[in-house]
Every structure is written in C-alpha cells, then in structure tokens.
C-alpha cells in the first residue's frame, strides 16, 4: 500500500482484499497526522474516497464473496 500522488495532486493508495475492511487512516500513517478512523466501503465499486483527508483508495484485484 504505497501512496502515490496523482496528476491532480491527490493522494492515492492501492489496497488488496487482504487489507479489508478498509479504514483511514491506515496503521502505517503517523499518529500526529491522523484524523478519526473511518471505515470505507470499497468492496462494491473498487474505489473509495476518505471524507476527512481526501485520500483515494483503489482496490487491486478482486474480493472473494463470503457465504
């Protein structure tokens, strides 16, 4: 999950199904630079945007259905 700056200077992070459920901030983010934890629904669309910091998360691969 390496952050990348996009052409519009947004922070974009790729995540995998193994990292779900997705929440922002991520555990790797420095504590002083964080906001309240918010869980982001990325499973259906493959992308999610954090309402606090604007980080865009993109799901790499697919999610296996659960029974």
How do the domains of the chain map onto residue ranges? Answer: 3-59
User: pLDDT confidence of 37, banded at 50, 70, 90?
Assistant: very high
Retrieve residue 4's tokens.
């990348």
pLDDT digits (tens, 9 = 90+) for 9-32: 578 999 999 999 999 998 888 887
31-37: average pLDDT: 85
Q: Are 44 and 17 in contact (CB under 8 A)?
A: no
User: pLDDT confidence of 51, banded at 50, 70, 90?
Assistant: very high
Instruction: Evaluate the CA torsion angle 45, 29, 17, 6 in order and state its sign.
Output: positive
């Amino acid at each position: 999950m390496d952050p990348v700056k996009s052409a519009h200077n947004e922070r974009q992070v790729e995540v995998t199904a193994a990292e779900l459920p997705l929440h922002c901030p991520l555990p790797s983010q420095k504590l002083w630079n964080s906001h309240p934890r918010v869980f982001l629904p990325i499973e259906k669309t493959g992308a999610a945007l954090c309402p606090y910091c604007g980080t865009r998360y993109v799901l790499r691969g697919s999610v296996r259905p659960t029974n």
